[in-house]
Amino acid sequence: MKKLKLVLFSLFLMFIPFKLVLAASFSLSSTTKQVSPGQTFTIKVGGDAIGRVNLSVTNGKLSTSSVWVEQNYVNVSVTAGASGSVVVVATPEVGFSDSDANIYNPGQRSVTINISSSSNSNSNTNTNSNKPNPGNNTPKKSDNNDLASLKVDKGTLSPSFQSSKLEYSLDLPSDTKEIKIDGQATDNKAKIEGLGTKKLEPGNNDIKIIVTAENGNKKTYIIHAYVLEEPDIFMNYKNKEIGIVKNLKNITIPEGFTKENLTFNDKEITTFKKGEIILIYGQNEEKEKSFYIFDKEKNELLNKFVLLKINNQFYNIIDYSQENNNSLEKITINDLEIECSVLEKDNNYCLINAIDDSGNKKEYIYEKREGTMQLFSNSLNYCEQEKTKKVVFPYILNGIFIILIGIMSWLLIKEKRGSKHEKTS
């Protein structure tokens, strides 16, 4: 028994020094205790721990505001201010741990470094030692990066200029080729970039005006200048002219389609293709922009196009032709306006026109409450089968009923004949 106790006690002692060796540590230190104004020195932060440490400084500048410590020490450069003392504080983030991944919360560490002034060492030459020497105080640089005014020589900014508002809209006529921008900073020590004459393209133009404060802080004002686009290529669609939009940089290309350039009436136009479907982007006489299906062989527009996604499945939706005699309505599905042919018997259902990637037209039935789509032909087959069942089933019942009556009649006749035979005998 004594031997067993001795063995257990020995094992217990083996684990005690192991835990002590792996004890976590965290510290912050400086390579110097005193620096001159504006001097750069080094601090060391780290220890036997793992995690991110955030750094802050008073009366100085850090080369970085945070470091990653992983059982090591990291050097960080600090530039001292003009006078007084520099105080650096190191704060571990949540999740700081020891080498065994155990949560370790050592708290903040700080270090203070005195800033020596050259005037202190030469105090005998100063007739009034209590009076500060203005030559030793570096003035603080301004951080003001506001605009005091912002003007354009064409159009009107919306909203009206305010130094606190950073974005503005500007609508311009189609013949606008350039615009002159003028502005002034609130602080005359700030610098402004982006003023002057700017060339414009049809469509959207983003113009940035950057104001840099004396201390280097930047602020960006943006003018969204829209130049009205006037197409020079037109195509007929339902007896209306559709102008081909030239500036396409801000449109969203339907998923699965790729850009392709084609020639139309000796002019190059941009199209989008998937399978046998070719799209162009145009605007009608009311300036409404949409995708249209383009027939390359006939050089004409066939249908308005919308790519609709329902339950992770894409549908190439097109509008109905003029020959469609059903009543049409526009419904909204997933924020898209879709043309729909109404079913008179049940307004919860409507028909939607579509084409597959091979260009074949198909019709889908859409259930509004559940938001589901299925091929209308399948729905018709199902309905026809149900109608057939409803029509045939009564005939089957009547047939069975007639057969049963026949069998019962035959049995009655047979029974009567048997009774007559018995009386005769």
| Cβ atoms of residues 80 and 36 within 8 Å | yes
Task: Concatenate the DSSP letters of all residues of 93-106 into one string.
Answer: PTT-B-TTS-B---
319 within some domain: yes
Same domain, 94 and 194: no
Which among 205, 227, 249 is the end of a domain? Answer: 227
In whole angstroms, give the CA distance from residue 65 to residue 285. Answer: 57
Q: What pLDDT digit, counting tens, does each position of 75-128 carry?
A: 999 998 888 888 999 999 988 888 887 888 888 899 999 988 644 434 333 434
Do the domain assignments include residue 134? no
Same domain, 41 and 58: yes
Same domain as 248, residue 201 = no
- 419 located within any domain: no
**152 Cβ partners below 8 Å, 6+ apart?**
170, 179, 180, 181, 182, 223
Nearest alpha carbon to residue 187 among 138, 140, 148, 139 = 148
Q: CATH no. for residue 194?
A: 2.60.40
Say if 309 falls within a structural domain: yes
Residues 219 and 242 in one domain: no
Q: Could you tell me if 278 and 207 lie in one domain?
A: no
Q: What is the CATH number of the domain that holds 70?
A: 2.60.40.10
Taking the CA atoms of residue 206, residue 207, residue 213 and residue 218 in that order, the dihedral angle to the nearest 10 degrees is 20
Q: Are residue 244 and residue 359 in the same domain, yes or no?
A: yes
Tens of pLDDT along 234-291?
A: 888 888 888 888 777 668 888 889 988 888 888 888 999 998 899 999 988 888 889 9
Smallest CA-to-CA distance from 139 within 82, 58, 218 is with 82
Assess whether 285 and 213 both reside in one domain: no
Residues 243 and 367 reside in one and the same domain: yes
Regarding whether 292 and 365 lie in a shared domain, the answer is: yes
Q: Burial code of 306-339, b = ≥16 C-beta within 10 A, e = fewer?
A: bbbeeeeeebbbbbbeeeeeeeeeeeebeeeebb
Residue 82 sits in which domain range? 21-116
Q: Is residue 407 part of a domain?
A: no
C-beta of residue 326 within 8 angstroms of C-beta of residue 351: yes
* Structure letter (DSSP) for residue 136: G
Asked if the structure places residue 163 within a domain, the reply is: yes
* Domain boundary pick from 227, 251, 280: 227
The answer to whether position 385 is within a domain reads no
Boundary-marking domain end, from 227, 250, 283: 227
Predicted structure pTM score: 0.44
What is the SS3 assignment for 198-236?
EECCCEEEEEEEEEECCCCCEEEEEEEEEECCCCCCEEE
Side chain identity, residue 122: N
Residue 262 and residue 223 share a domain: no
Q: For the chain, how many structural domains are there in total?
A: 3
Judge whether 77 and 35 are in contact, CB under 8 Å. no
pLDDT tens per residue, the chain (425 residues)? 445 444 444 544 454 444 444 468 889 999 898 998 889 999 999 988 898 999 998 888 998 888 888 889 999 999 988 888 889 999 999 888 888 878 888 888 999 999 886 444 343 334 344 444 555 567 888 999 999 999 999 999 999 999 899 999 999 988 899 999 999 999 999 999 999 999 998 888 999 999 999 999 999 999 999 888 788 888 888 888 888 887 776 688 888 899 888 888 888 889 999 988 999 999 888 888 899 999 888 888 989 998 988 888 888 988 886 555 568 888 888 888 888 887 776 778 888 889 888 888 888 888 888 888 888 865 444 444 444 555 556 677 777 878 888 888 878 777 776 655 555 55
410 domain-assigned? no
Asked whether residue 242 falls in the same domain as residue 219, the answer is no
CA distance 375 to 365: 6
Phi-psi region of 158 (alpha: psi -120 to 50; beta: other; left: phi over 0): beta
Contact 88, 59 (CB under 8 A): no
77 and 49 both lie in a single domain: yes
- Structure tokens belonging to residue 324: 């469609």
How far is Cα 50 from Cα 101, in angstroms, rounded to an integer? Answer: 8
